[in-house]
Structure 1
Amino acid sequence: MMEQQAKPVRITERMDNNWKFQLGDMEGASAEDFSDTGWRTLNLPHDWSVEGEFAIDHPAGGDGAYLPAGIGWYRKRFSIPGDWKEHNVSVRFDGVYMNSEVWINGCCLGKRPNGYVSFHYDLTPYLHWDGRSNTMAVRVDNSEQPNSRWYTGSGIYRHVWLIRAGRARIDHWGVCVTTPDVSETLAMAKVTTRIINELGESQYARLRSEIADADGNTLASKQTGAFLAGDTHDMTLELQINNPKLWSDVNPYMYTLKSTLWVGDRLTDETATPFGFRSISFDADRGFIINGQRVKLNGVCLHHDGGCVGAAVPDRVWERRLRLLKEMGCNAIRMSHNPPSSELLDLCDRMGFFVMDEAFDEWTHSKAKSGSMAYGYYKYFDEWWERDLTSMLHRDRNHPSIILWSVGNEIPEQSQSVGPEILKKLIEVCRREDATRPVTLACDNISADINAAAESFFELLDVVGYNYVNRWRGRTETLYAEDRLQYPRMKIIGSEHSTVRSTRADYRLRQPLIADTRKDEAAPWRNPPYYSGMIRAERLWKFTRMHDYVAGDFMWTGIDHLGEARWPNKNSSSGVLDMCGFPKDGYYFYQSQWTAEPMIHPFPHWNWEGCEGEIIPVLCYTNCDTVELFVNGKSYGVKSCEFPLQGMTKRYGHYDKHFIHATTSDLHLTWDVPYEPGRLEFVGTRDGIEVCAAEIATTGKPVRIEAAADSDQISADGMDVAHVTVRLLDDQGKLVRTSDCPVIVTVEGAGLLIGADNGNPESHESFKSNIRSTYGGMCLAIVQSDSQSGSIIVRVEAAGMEAAQTIIQTKQE
């Protein structure tokens, strides 16, 4: 009988718009017997915490960014089309923080304590059909505080999806694609598909799988069949293509697996699964291997918040942030310390980032949070860990970007007798659900003086993750070398280490070089002077770069994140990008080491009124051979650095490149310059040829505002955003980094202001206010489209300055 394919069977729709929201609990009421009249109407994703005011007495404390938490209710009314009645209908929540309970038409669908995992419920038995209204209610309880060591957000902060499929259908996350055999001439995809049968009788089903390239051309197709005798059935087949384009960080080529399920002559389901052909491995001697080539993992750790938008992060915000990290030379992301959004993983697939996907920050023991250990995931671990871990593995296993599963971060059990037993169970689940990737854990107590990790614990790991290997005693210099001798077959990765820590625009001349740790044990790394804070990061990078057995490092962190702070700070300043996504000086250190395009980044600013004649340390990061500094036209000398130092080749005394007489063994250059107002010019050479230049100069007072959007056209879908960078300029058009003032941001037309920030960790201005002080002469406004085509007019004003305006067009796709 001929196959009859008509309209699509599977329909996946965003269920984000027109929810009712109420902050506070509805005590003594069920999900259905209270009125939502007067509730706020909003669109998801939504984070109610970021809408609040900063206050030192909020229960979440500094780890929760001094923002409110509490309990919130969401309700949505919707109707189901009549032609859906013979299908299965389900709902998927991509992320709800935390302790969610979901009802449909008064029937409880379930609870989920974990605030990061995606989950789904079958709605079919409870729905009203024939055009009648259905009511979905969601209770979110984030009232037990503090429950996290960083800002979590509160609410339904990721997308919600309504899904229609056949009664015989492909299971949620039921397609698993692996690429066991990959070469430049031939690649095989092994596809396992889990089928759900709700037809009530045994029927013969046929599953067709097709591989399409990025242009939609079908390259391979195969079909298999089976009788659907039970509730679930797994079907496996293999497909081959010739001359594949292999996925990597430099060529992130994606294919699509199209799956169609037929029962008799009736199409009952269809899915599309993006994937990539690539082979990965970790080697005890060579580190990380992708498609047969050794690649150093130049990584950063990221938390899930997006700064001024909180936990409800639009895709374009992540895209901009990842683009900036890519331009720095970063090729790897550690998702610390919980599963990220699917959209973020999709971006990593498309943009070429290797990913460590991490499940838990706590197992059975609590960690201190703002001085408390009462609340946290440890309360739910014993009951929920396997379901939560399995959900992460099923959802994420087809992303080619993911190269490691991490089952924990700095777990106290690493030094306890129960640790190996728990770890074994976690690893068994990872291998049961996806045996193609190694399992790691971020250990912070390997060779610690106290609570050292047990050898029986870390020897279970496929790849051993080291957090802060340079923390204890002589390991500040020897790093991994001692363990390399003792455990020569251990596979090693730096899962977390400090970056060049700083706050953008904060340059302190009289910061002491010696910190009295007897008074404040945290002092050595919290506020390093701008002219010495990079030394430890440089030493770590030198070792990592020169020792192949170290697969790479994930620096803490790529971007400043909310929480993990102490008043008056509201956010951590550990990133190389601030919360606005503005690069700090440390960003350019990694760019100088991880990229090849000639660059020079000088700092600090050159506005030191009242310091005439005082010695100012002037530094630059560069990948040039030499840099000469000119102050108001006078040379202050040529400085040079070289890493790695080149050795002789071919014969004695022969060098492939010009020999460089380095003036420092550091990875930055520095001059001590008596301050005089004016202009500093930096001229860089390679092989004796001038290749780039940079300057810093004394500026005047700010007289006008510049407002520049990163895109002049965005989608009119109610989700897309543009980032508007605001800068204070003097009469020469130069950024004034030492003069700040409040600015007023007005948005008119087909969009709205969803957040504003300046990167200052001590700023307590509301992220939702349209009045924002600049910091270091800059601030950021994030503007989101509505659902209409048209123009968004963004106007920025400040007292005594020429205003600025930029126009962003919105367009229906």
Structure 2
Amino acid sequence: MTVSRRSLLLASTAAPAAGAMTGIPPARAAQAAGAASGRRTVPLRDGWRFALVNPGGITDPTGAFAEAADPAYDDSGWREVAVPHDWSIELTPTTEHGTTSGTGFFPGGLGWYRVAFTLPAALAGKRISVEFDGVYMDAYVHCNGTEAGRHPYGYTGFALDLTDLLHTDGSTENVLAVKVQNRLPSSRWYSGSGIHREARLVVTEPVHVERWGTYVTTPEFTEDRGLVRVRTSVVNASGVGTDVEVVSRIVDPRGRTVARTSSTVAVTDRATETQELAVPAPKVWDLATPHHRYTLDTELRVGGRATDTQRTGFGFRTFRFDPDEGFHLNGVHHKIKGVDLHHDLGALGAAVNVDAVRRQMTIMKSMGVNAFRTSHNPPSPEVVRVCEELGIVMLVEAFDCWRTGKTRYDYGRFFDEWAERDATEMVLAARNSPAVLMWSIGNEVPDSTSTAGLVMADRIIDAIRAADDTRPLVIGSDKYRRLPAKGSAADLMLAKLDGLGLNYNTAKSVDQLHAAYPHLFLFESESSSETSTRGAYQEPERLNTGENHTPGRRPPRPTTTTSPPGP
């Protein structure tokens, strides 16, 4: 059996002449051929083939796809698609296959993706990995017939090292095959199915910056001077220890270099180097000045030769959530006017599109929104970037459930094995953004008020704080509409957190919680949903009823009827 020829050209000095490889635009090939060394990234957007094996489950009833991971498998009859891709939105809604109203009645099931490419001989000796920003859900990635890894959670990214599985001879084709299993019901909202976020190949030298390996904080700053602390994680996969020079340069919003430093660290396997730089007269990222974003340029050098470069955006800002005085950004009090949004883009489905995200958030901003809660999962990198650009602060949320699920096939199946890894990935992907102000460990989590849940919470909290200790930890909860008993699991849970998001609480309960837990800042994390009344509004003299409809809504006026006139 033969594979239909689809080639992907990676940047290399040994690349063929521009346009010489099938499916490669000449301009792209020429650009690729000009790159010499260091980090190279190639988006995996085009050239994929896709087959929906079974929309009703995760089995292959015909057996025709049993060898779909084999490089020699004939996928010529599969449909060509571009990634990001959501196959569910393309299907006809149905009440079969475990669909629900919350998920829009769209099927999921079992799907396969394949992409083929060749790598030039100049990449021999490099480290090559594949990165996915999100695959929904339970994805298995195969490279040239070997399973390279699995990733169940559909809302966190992951990377797999393919170095030892790839051909780099310039002629032998490589095949990536991704099996996706979205067994329904797996969510309480529209999830979509497939490689719904960006994917890419990343090529580095053996000495390189680790994935998410730059951590930038601004621990103190004034109008005259800003301190920037940079922590760089360096990987040495050469097998020989070496000294690595870490060069850090900060570029201001106008593109000017405003600070620079370098230091040397001995790296055998992995090492972390911490540096501090001073930026004169720092510009502050704020709701009204979101364009005040800086860039950290990191360069690694071995023996005077550059082996890797990395760019990281960040911003100067201070914030605090005071239990008595509310939210302050850069010393100025603001009323949080927030929305919760799920990850889909309406009729476009779950496949991320930065222009659609920007349109969506621009509309939110135009109606007065200044804050965004990612309900109830980590967002795509595009969402974080757009919120930075528009000046919208973010609460980034990890999970909708822990071990105890809310639907039959949701994340609860994977929590015990994957919770720490997914919480860590969530933080690493967004911790340098000035827009991100809070980490949420979950939403309306059934386990959160149980004794076992206390241990689960510790696992998540420890993972988050190990990756970032600069932001408060919160939970969104519907469990605190009355005060918990002292010493109960619900009571002990609040001692672990900095803030508490309240879902559909009464005003009276909020006052009681504030008095009982003065260390917590309280905020309204949800006040309406798809089941809420539309077009009925709160009267000022009415208190929040705590019910799942528009709080304090005015009851309908009675209809007056008159008897028909008598004969």
Same fold (TM over 0.5): yes
The match for 1:200 among 204, 223, 239 is 239
TM-score, length of structure 1 as denominator length: 0.60
What is the correspondence of 1:72-87 to structure 2 with a 5 Å cutoff?
72-87=111-126
Task: Tell me the residue number matched to 2:177.
Answer: 137
Deviation at 1:454, TM superposition (A): 1.4
How big is each residue's C-alpha offset from its partner over 1:541-582, in whole Å with a ceiling of 9 and x where there is no partner? 9x9xxxxxxxxxxxx9xxxxxxxxxxxxxxxxx9xxxxxxxx
Is the 1:364–1:378 Cα contact (8 Å) retained in structure 2?
yes
Tell me the distance in 2 between the aligned counterparts of 1:436 and 1:463.
Answer: 14
CA RMSD of the aligned region, Å? 2.7
Which amino acid in 2 is paired with 1:389? A
Deviation at 1:486, TM superposition (A): 2.4
2:40 aligned with 1:11:
yes
The match for 1:379 among 413, 417, 423 is 413
Task: Tell me the residue number matched to 2:523.
Answer: 493
Which amino acid in 1 is paired with 2:481? S
Task: Tell me the residue number matched to 2:514.
Answer: 484
Is the 1:186–1:242 Cα contact (8 Å) retained in structure 2?
yes
SS of residue matched to 1:347: helix
Task: Tell me the residue number matched to 1:242.
Answer: 280
Uncovered stretches (5+) of structure 1, i.e. residues with no partner? 471-476, 502-524, 544-555, 557-573, 575-585, 587-665, 669-813
The match for 2:435 among 401, 406, 421 is 401
Tell me the distance in 2 between the aligned counterparts of 1:52 and 1:396.
Answer: 33
Task: Tell me the residue number matched to 2:316.
Answer: 277
Cα distance, 1:389–1:401 mapped onto 2, change above 3 Å:
same
How big is each residue's C-alpha offset from its partner over 1:81-137, in whole Å with a ceiling of 9 and x where there is no partner? 333223211110011001100011112110111111100111211111121211110
Task: Tell me the residue number matched to 1:516.
Answer: none
Task: Tell me the residue number matched to 2:139.
Answer: 100
Task: Tell me the residue number matched to 1:739.
Answer: none
Is the 1:184–1:246 Cα contact (8 Å) retained in structure 2?
no
Is the 1:445–1:453 Cα contact (8 Å) retained in structure 2?
no
Is the 2:319–2:329 Cα contact (8 Å) retained in structure 1?
yes
Cα distance, 1:537–1:422 mapped onto 2, change above 3 Å:
farther
Task: Tell me the residue number matched to 1:214.
Answer: 253
Is the 1:538–1:667 Cα contact (8 Å) retained in structure 2?
no
How big is each residue's C-alpha offset from its partner over 1:401-439, in whole Å with a ceiling of 9 and x where there is no partner? 100000110011222122222212211221111000011
Cα distance, 1:31–1:538 mapped onto 2, change above 3 Å:
farther
Which amino acid in 1 is paired with 2:503? N
Identity of aligned residues (%): 38
How big is each residue's C-alpha offset from its partner over 1:20-69, in whole Å with a ceiling of 9 and x where there is no partner? 11110455435105321211011111100000011222422222211111
How big is each residue's C-alpha offset from its partner over 1:212-258, in whole Å with a ceiling of 9 and x where there is no partner? 01222100000010111x21110110111111111111111110000
SS of residue matched to 2:527: strand
2:500 aligned with 1:464:
yes
Task: Tell me the residue number matched to 2:88.
Answer: 49
Is the 2:241–2:269 Cα contact (8 Å) retained in structure 1?
no
2:484 aligned with 1:445:
no
Which amino acid in 2 is paired with 1:486? A
Deviation at 1:327, TM superposition (A): 0.9
2:537 aligned with 1:534:
yes
Tell me the distance in 2 between the aligned counterparts of 1:490 and 1:203.
Answer: 48
SS of residue matched to 2:185: coil
Is the 1:187–1:241 Cα contact (8 Å) retained in structure 2?
yes
SS of residue matched to 1:338: coil
Task: Tell me the residue number matched to 1:649.
Answer: none
Report how many aligned residue pairs link the two structures: 508
2:298 aligned with 1:259:
yes
TM-score, length of structure 2 as denominator length: 0.85
2:449 aligned with 1:411:
no
What is the correspondence of 1:291-370 to structure 2 with a 5 Å cutoff?
291-367=330-406, 369=407
Is the 1:176–1:398 Cα contact (8 Å) retained in structure 2?
yes
What is the correspondence of 1:54-203 to structure 2 with a 5 Å cutoff?
54-132=93-171, 133-142=173-182, 144-203=183-242
Tell me the distance in 2 between the aligned counterparts of 1:80 and 1:227.
Answer: 32
Cα distance, 1:494–1:131 mapped onto 2, change above 3 Å:
same
Tell me the distance in 2 between the aligned counterparts of 1:307 and 1:538.
Answer: 36
The match for 2:454 among 416, 420, 424 is 420
Uncovered stretches (5+) of structure 2, i.e. residues with no partner? 1-33, 54-59, 555-567
The match for 1:435 among 448, 469, 480 is 469
Tell me the distance in 2 between the aligned counterparts of 1:319 and 1:209.
Answer: 31
Tell me the distance in 2 between the aligned counterparts of 1:289 and 1:258.
Answer: 30
Q: Which of these two proteins has the greater Rg computed from alpha carbons?
A: 1
Tell me the distance in 2 between the aligned counterparts of 1:117 and 1:462.
Answer: 24
Deviation at 1:8, TM superposition (A): 5.5
Is the 1:257–1:274 Cα contact (8 Å) retained in structure 2?
yes
SS of residue matched to 2:451: coil
Which amino acid in 1 is paired with 2:475? L
Tell me the distance in 2 between the aligned counterparts of 1:539 and 1:243.
Answer: 49
Which amino acid in 2 is paired with 1:13? V
Cα distance, 1:169–1:220 mapped onto 2, change above 3 Å:
same
Which amino acid in 2 is paired with 1:386? E
SS of residue matched to 2:41: strand
Cα distance, 1:89–1:232 mapped onto 2, change above 3 Å:
same
Deviation at 1:527, TM superposition (A): 4.2
Is the 1:446–1:453 Cα contact (8 Å) retained in structure 2?
no
Deviation at 1:465, TM superposition (A): 1.4
Is the 1:331–1:352 Cα contact (8 Å) retained in structure 2?
yes
How big is each residue's C-alpha offset from its partner over 1:476-519, in whole Å with a ceiling of 9 and x where there is no partner? x53511222222332112111127x8xxxxxxxxxxxxxxxxxx
Which amino acid in 2 is paired with 1:235? E
SS of residue matched to 2:424: helix
